[in-house]
Every structure is written in C-alpha cells, then in structure tokens.
A and B are shown apart, each in its own frame.
Chain A
Amino acid sequence: QVQLQQWGAGLLKPSETLPLTCTVYGGSLSGYYWSWIRQTPGKGLEWIGEINPSGDTNYNPSLKSRVTTSIDTSKNQFSLKMTSVTAADTAVYYCARGLYFRSGRNPSYWYFDLWGRGTLVTVSP
C-alpha cells in the first residue's frame, strides 16, 4: 500500500523559509505529478505547486515568486521551500499524488488519488 509521509518545520517566524519534505513509501515517483496543497484554518484548499520525476514544475501564480519544489528520485521524495513566510502562510500543508491523462477529443482526466496526513505550519513572531 503506497503511503506519503511528510515532515518539516511546524513553527516559523515571519521572514523565515518553510521547508517540507514528502517521502513515498511502497511505490514509485514515476508516472505521477507530485503536488503541495495547503488549507488555512476553516478555509478551502489552495494548490501551491507540483513537480514530476523529470523535474518539470508548475506553480500557483500567486505564490510562484516564493516557492520552489524539488525531487530526489534516489530517495523517493519531493520537497517544498517557501521563502519569506508571513502569518498568512499559517496553514495545514499537504503533499499529494496527481494523475494526468490527457485526451484529444474528450475531456482529460486529472485527480489526486493519494494524500499525506498534513503538517500544521504556524508562522508567529
């Protein structure tokens, strides 16, 4: 059974850099898109960015200037770094596995079939 185990800093001060890492157990990185998603308390889900095993990345335009994702296929893990955090970045951060099936004539398929348990990140002076 494939599982995502995530870890990283839980408490940060404003202006610091948030590091998070997600390790894939029981499966491979190949063939998937690996995303970071966050959820502020009582709010909805916000996609942060993604990376594939080739190292191709996409980011949420609103966060792109502060976010970097990386992938280490030898360790079966991927990571997120978010710079210059503020209180507005306080949230639960999830890693997730995405599947993408592009279709020419019919709608394409996209979905997250596996999620990490989430890491609460608090930014406070």
Chain B
Amino acid sequence: SELTQDPVVSVALGQIVRITCQGDSLRHYYASWYQQKPGQAPILVIYGKDNRPSGIPDRFSGSNSGNTASLTITGAQAEDEADYFCNSRDITGNHVLFGGGTKLTVL
C-alpha cells in the first residue's frame, strides 16, 4: 500500500490551501502531517483527527474522509512555504508509510 500526494501546490499569500493525501490505509489510520524546510528535520504539524502540537499555528488544520486526508492552511503565510509529508501505518499495522511529499509555494 502507499500514500499519494500532489507533488506541487501553490497558494497566494493569505489564501486558503488544501494539501491532500490518498491511500487505503487512511481508512484505518488518521494521517499525520509534517512540515519540512530546506536543511531541517521534519516537524509534526497535525496528528490524529485534527490535533496540533504545541507551537503550531491554528491556521493549520486536518481532516479525514474515507481514503483521503487533507491538511488545510487557512491564510497561508510566507513562512509556510515548505515540503509537506503525510504519514500513517499500513493496513497490517506492521509498516510505516510516507506520502511522496507536496512542495508548497506561497505566491
């Protein structure tokens, strides 16, 4: 099984953007989402049904429906330009999956 993401997404400054992740495993696991900027380790931005770790701005939110998970940024900022990866376990629960990543450009 695998997780599929659009490779590139762009958004105008201050607008809403949705990044999606599809995969059969998402019927069994909430996706988690990570932001990665060049030269840095990924950081968790969304986990579970729609949870943000401490320090993550509330413009980041998550949702799940069927085999699709979405990360939404409401009012995108310049500092949100980064790569975003989704993650879950596979259907067996024995392996961990990552989506291929989405490069977000803020125009």
Contacts and interface: CB of A to CB of B under 8 A. Distances in A.
Interface of A: 35, 37, 44-47, 50, 58, 60-61, 94, 98, 100, 102, 107-113, 115-118
Which 3 A/B pairs are nearest by Cβ-Cβ distance?
A111-B32, A111-B47, A47-B96
Contact of B98 (A46, A61, A107, A109): A46
A17 B95 CA distance: 23
15 contacts: A35-B96, A37-B98, A44-B101, A58-B96, A102-B93, A107-B26, A107-B27, A107-B29, A108-B28, A108-B89, A108-B93, A109-B48, A110-B88, A111-B32, A112-B87
B95 A47 contact: yes
Which of A37, A94, A111 gathers the greatest number of chain B CB atoms within 10 Å?
A: A111
A79 B69 CA distance: 32
Contacts of B96: 35, 47, 50, 58, 98, 110
Contacts of A113: 44, 47, 53
Contacts of A108: 28-30, 89, 93
Interface of B: 26-30, 32, 34, 41-44, 47-49, 53, 64, 85, 87-89, 93-101
A50 B95 CA distance: 9
A110 B53 contact: no
B89 A44 contact: no
A117 B28 contact: no
A45 B98 contact: yes
A107 B30 contact: yes
Nearest to B85: A45
Given A111-B32, A111-B87, A45 B47 contact: no
